[in-house]
Amino acid sequence: MKDKVYDVIIVGARIAGASLAARLGAAGLQVLILEKDTFPGRTVVSCPLLLSSGMQLLDEIGIDESLYAPDNKRFAGVALEMSEYFRTFVEIPDVYGRHYLYGIDRQVLDQALWKNLDRFPNVTQLKNFSVSALQMDKDGKVTGVTGMFKGGESQSFSADAVIGADGRHSVVARKAQAAVTEEITKYNTAVYYAYWEGVEPYQAQGKEWIQIHSGCNGFSAVVIPASNGLTGVLAQCRHDYFNAPAGVDEWYHHTIRSFQECFND
């Protein structure tokens, strides 16, 4: 396997990397996809909503709803509350034959994306492999990667192209000294979340909704039911308002408690 030259090496096997590997695999390319963790593995820093457009993209690579939303409720849309001033309901329009959205557990979704690659014999999957360097020829062209399995020795793999799908702090981007083409920091926010049990659903107008509550003071809370009886509860604020001298846990609970009345409505 070490002597094989792949068409593409993809570093990172979460949403971007695994979905790309499925498309390239379906096109017949020889693909090697490398992931530094396992599935399910570490807690993913994401507690997302999945809209009909995202579900359509998953349809295109062969992943059925039952795999990433096994027992999830379908929500009509979002209940948007602006402090005590007003509340409005934003319904999901019928797009691609769906008029609902899901709250998603990223570990469930990521595992479904990884398992989906088993369908492609021309896609080689390696987990627990961390890339540490890029291979380059004398002209500076990237020709492969070097790294190691957890607890193992260094290994190298070659390819005609290497794609970094390993997140905001991409090792591939850093090693290739990739230029930042666009970065917007004006609207940065600080967000922390935890999965709770026993959270009652937000019901109104005979339907169930995702809840977004803005305090109109730079702070907000979001409640996103996911799978397995868990609900993601997010606390967020303007990045320049974030101040946690007693630690993030205390900041999170203090922020959520400040919205206690809105959760009791």
In the chain, at which residue ranges do the beta strands (DSSP E only) sit?
Answer: 5-11, 31-35, 49-50, 77-82, 86-91, 102-103, 123-127, 129-136, 142-149, 154-164, 189-197, 202-204, 207-214, 219-225, 230-238
Please choose, from the candidates 3, 18, 20, the residue with its C-alpha nearest in 3D space to the C-alpha of residue 126: 18
Region 29-50: what's the mean pLDDT? 83
Whether the predicted pLDDT of 43 surpasses 70: no
The torsion angle over the Cα atoms of residues 82, 83, 86 and 92, rounded to 10 degrees, is 40
Structure tokens given for 224: 């996103």
Query: What would the pLDDT profile of 128-173 be if each residue is shown by its tens digit?
Result: 999 999 999 999 899 999 999 988 888 999 999 999 999 888 999 9
List, in order of start, the domains of the chain with CATH numbers: 5-48+107-175 (3.50.50.60), 71-101+185-264 (3.30.9)
CB–CB of 226/232 below 8 Å?
Answer: yes
Mean pLDDT of the chain: 92
